[in-house]
Amino acid sequence: MSEATVVDAESLSRMYSLMLTTALADQKSVAESKAGRLQAAFYPVRGMEAVCAALGEVLTPRDRLVSTYRNLGDALAKGTPLRAIMAEMYGRRAGLSRGKGGPMHLQDPAIGFTATTGIVGSGLPIAAGLAMAAQLDDAGGATVVTFGDGATSIGAFHEAMNFAGLWKLPLVFVCQNNQWGEHTPLASYAANTDLAARAAAYSIRAQKVDGFDPMAAHAALTEAVARARAADGPTFLEFIHYRLTGHTGTADFSYVPEGELKSAMERDPAPTFRAWLIEHGHLTEEQVVRIETRARDVVEDAFSYAAACELPATSDLYTDVFADDTWVRSLHHD
C-alpha cells in the first residue's frame, strides 16, 4: 500500500465505506441474480473497489462521469444513492431511469453521472464530446470516462484518444485493466498488452497504476483530474488489478487459472485496506467496525427498498421514449 496522500481520518473513512459498500452490494447482487430475483443482467465490479473509492474522493458534482455497464462502484463514487441504483436494477419506478434502463443505463445527471453505456467502448467518444463541449463553453471541471481493458481494442477508443490528444481535452481516461475481456485473457486478444503505451502514441500523458491500491489510485486521479480542470490536457490511467468474479452475476468462472485468482484474492481491496488503516493508525478497530455496520445496514436497506417498490405501469411504456405522444396516439387510432 502506498503512503497516504489523504491523511485525514474522515477522507480515509469515506474511502473505506465506499469500498465496502460496493463489495457488499456487489456480492448481494450476484446472489440475487443467481436466485432469479434480480433478472436484469448484472456485471460485478469485484476487484475494482479501490479505484472507485478514489474516484469518489476526487470527483465533485461539477465533474462529469461516463461509465460502462460494470458501473455499481462508479455510481456510488459519484454520489448516487444505493436505493436508487438498486431500484433501477430491479426494474422499479423509483429507479434512476424509472425502471426501464436497468444496470446498463444508470445515470444521475444532476450530480454529473452523465451516462452509462452498454456497448463496449462506446462511452469514450461520448466523454470526448462532453469534454469538448465543456472546453468550448469554458465550463470548467473534468470529464472522466471509465472502461475495461477490452474496450482498448475497439475503434471508438482510438477515435476518442486521437480527438482528445489533438484538442487537448479536459478528459481523464480510466482504464480498469482487470486482465479479462469477458472470457478471454488480455494476452490472447492484444498483441501488445501495454495499454498505457497506446495512449502515449496519441501524445496523451499515460501512467500505469496499481489498481488494488486505493492510495496509489487516489494520487494518480488527483493529479489527472487537476490537470483536466486546469485545461492542461488529457490523461490516460491504466489501473492494473484482477477481476475477482465472473463476467456477469451468473457466469461460470472455472476458466480462470486457480493460482491467478488465489493470488489476486490475497489483495482483495476492502480487507487489505482495512488492515492497512488499522496497522498505520489511521483508524481504530472501533471506528472500522462502525463503518462496516453502517455499510451492511445501507446495503440491506437498499435491497429491501428496491424489492418493495412498485413496477412501472403499462402507461409508462412510451414515457421518455418519444418527444411527444404522436406515435402513441397513432397506435390507438389504428
Residue 330 amino acid letter:
S
Tell me if 271 is assigned to some domain: yes
Residue 1 lies in a domain: no
What's the rounded Cα separation, in Å, for the pair 51 and 177? 11
DSSP 183-234: TEEHHHH-S---HHHHHHTTT-EEEEEETT-HHHHHHHHHHHHHHHHTT---
4 falls within a domain:
no
Mean pLDDT on 221-233: 97
Q: What is the mean pLDDT of residues 119-133?
A: 96
**In the predicted model, what is the mean pLDDT of residues 188-203?**
90
Asked whether residue 315 carries a pLDDT value surpassing 90, the answer given is no
Q: What is the CATH number of the domain that holds 300?
A: 3.40.50.970
Does 181 score more than 90 pLDDT? no
Assigned domain for 302 exists? yes
Q: What is the average pLDDT across 240-248? A: 92
- Cβ neighbour number for residue 251 with a 10 Å cutoff: 17
Work out how many domains the chain is built from and give that number.
1
pLDDT band at 41; cut points 50, 70, 90: confident
- 126 has pLDDT over 90: yes
Is the per-residue pLDDT at 168 higher than 90? yes
User: Binning pLDDT at 50, 70 and 90, where does residue 107 land?
Assistant: very high
Handedness of CA 65, 70, 72, 77 (dihedral sign): negative
Does 176 have pLDDT greater than 60? yes
Give the cell for residue 35: 436466485
Q: Does residue 276 lie in a domain region?
A: yes
- What is the per-residue pLDDT for 102? 87
User: How confident is the model over 95-113, as a mean pLDDT?
Assistant: 91
Domain ranges, residue 318? 9-333
CA distance 37 to 132: 41
3 in a structural domain = no
| pTM attached to this predicted model | 0.93
Q: Which three cell numbers stand for residue 81?
A: 444513492
Considering only CA atoms, which of 185, 186, 183, 189 is closest in space to residue 253?
183
Q: Beta strands 64-68 and 113-117: pairing type?
A: parallel
